[in-house]
Amino acid sequence: MKAPSDTTLVITPEHHETALSWLSVLHDQPTVAEQTRFSRWLQADPAHAEAYAQAQVMWEMTEEPAAKLAGEDAVALAALLKEMDAPRTAVRRHTLMRWSLGLAMAACLVLMIGVGLGFQPQRWIDDLGADYVAAPGQVRSVMLADGSQVTLDADSAIAVHFIQGERHVELRRGGAFFQVTHTGEPFVVEGGKGETRVLGTQFEVRLQPNGAQVTVVSGRVGVKADVGEPQQILTAGQRVSYDLTHTSDPSIVDSEKQLAWRQGWLNYYRTPLAQVIDDLSRYYPGRIVVLNDRLAAKTVSGSFPSKDPLAVLAALKSVVGFEQYEALGRVIVIR
C-alpha cells in the first residue's frame, strides 16, 4: 500500500497578492474571459485555492476599516497632487477617481496597496515638506543649526525654519522630543494648528487626531491651541493637550516614564488598547487594524519593548484576549 504523501501547502506572499487581486476583479462585474482565467488559476494549484479562501476571510473581516482607510488615502492623494502643484488633466482626474472607487470597493486590496506596495499618500505629503524623517520602527536624533537636539519617535517627521530672529519647527507627523539650546531667540514648535513656545527647556510634542499633546521634562513652555487663544504655561512634570479651539488645564505626569520611548520602552497605565495599538503601529512596517470597538476600549497597563511589536501583541493577546490574523506579512487584523 502506498504511503500517503505530504499534503502541506506552502502559501507564498505572491499567492496572497494574486488572490486579493482576483477578489478585486470578481467584485467588480468580471467578464466571461476573466471568470475563465480565474477558474484556470484556481485549479492550477491547491495552494491557489487555499490562498483564495484565506483572502475571502480577510476581505470579510477588513471591509469596514479598509473602506475607511481607502477614503483617507483618496483624500490624502488629492492633497498630495495639490501640494505638488500637479496639473489636473482629465487623465489625472480619471486616475484619482479610479483609485478612490477601486480602494473603496476592494477592502483587502486597499490594505495590500496601502502597506504592501507603499501606497500611503498622507505619509508622502508629510515627508515631501520635511527636513528630517524617522521611518517606522526607527527612533532618530538630529542636531539643528542652533545646537538644539531633536529626537524623533518612530514614523515621525519635522520641517525646520530658522528665519527673522525666530526658530520654528513644524511637527508634520508623529512625536518629537526637544532639547532646546538657549540663544535668546524664541523657539516655536508648531503642530496640530497650535504652537509651543520656549527659550530653553526639554519637552515633547506629539500629534493627536485633532491637535497635539505637550509634555515638559524641564524648564517652562507656553502652549496655545491657535492664534488668539489664551496661553497655558507648563513647567517640569506637566502635560496639556489642545485641539483646534481649546487647551486643557495642565496635569501632573511622570514625564520621564511617559517619554521612555527614547530608551525603547512604551509605558501605559489604564490606557485604551486602541491607543496602545496606535503606538505599536509606529514600530511595525505595515498596518495594525482593530475591528472590535469594545475591545479597543479595554484598558491596558504595563511596560513593553517598542523594538518588538509582535512580541508586545502576543503579550497583549494573552492578557486582553483577542483573535489576530496576518496578511502579506504587513497587515495585522485584531478582533
CATH number at residue 283: 3.55.50.30
Q: Write out the H or E segment, with its range, that includes residue 296.
A: helix 293-297
Which of 235, 258, 281 terminates a domain? The answer is 258
pLDDT(116) > 70: no
Helices (H), 27-159: 32-44, 46-83, 90-105, 107-111, 121-128
CA atoms of 211 and 202, how far apart (whole Å): 20
Structural domain contains residue 7: no
**CATH code of the domain covering residue 192:** 2.60.120.1440
Q: Which residues pair with 268 in a beta bridge?
A: 302
Specify the pLDDT at position 128.
72
Predicted confidence at residue 73, as pLDDT, reads 54
Q: Does 212 share its domain with 233? A: yes
Q: What is the pLDDT of residue 146?
A: 92
pLDDT at 167 over 60: yes
Beta carbons of 277 and 266 less than 8 angstroms apart:
no
Give the burial string for 30-58 (b: 16+ CB within 10 Å, else e). eeeeeeeebeeeeeeeeebbebbebbeeb
Are residue 145 and residue 187 in the same domain, yes or no?
yes
Residue finishing a domain among 207, 231, 258: 258
Pairing of strands 175-179, 149-152: antiparallel
Number of domains in the chain: 3
pLDDT per residue as tens digits for the range 233-242: 999 999 999 9
Within 10 angstroms of residue 257's Cβ, the number of other Cβ atoms is: 11
| Three-class SS state of 207 | strand
Task: Give Dmax over CA atoms of the chain in angstroms.
Answer: 89
Confidence of residue 2 (pLDDT cuts 50, 70, 90): very low
In which domain, by residue range, is 152 found?
135-258
Q: How far apart are CA 26 and CA 317, in angstroms?
A: 34
- Give me the pLDDT at residue 140, please: 95
Within-domain flag for 248: yes
pLDDT at 126 over 60: yes
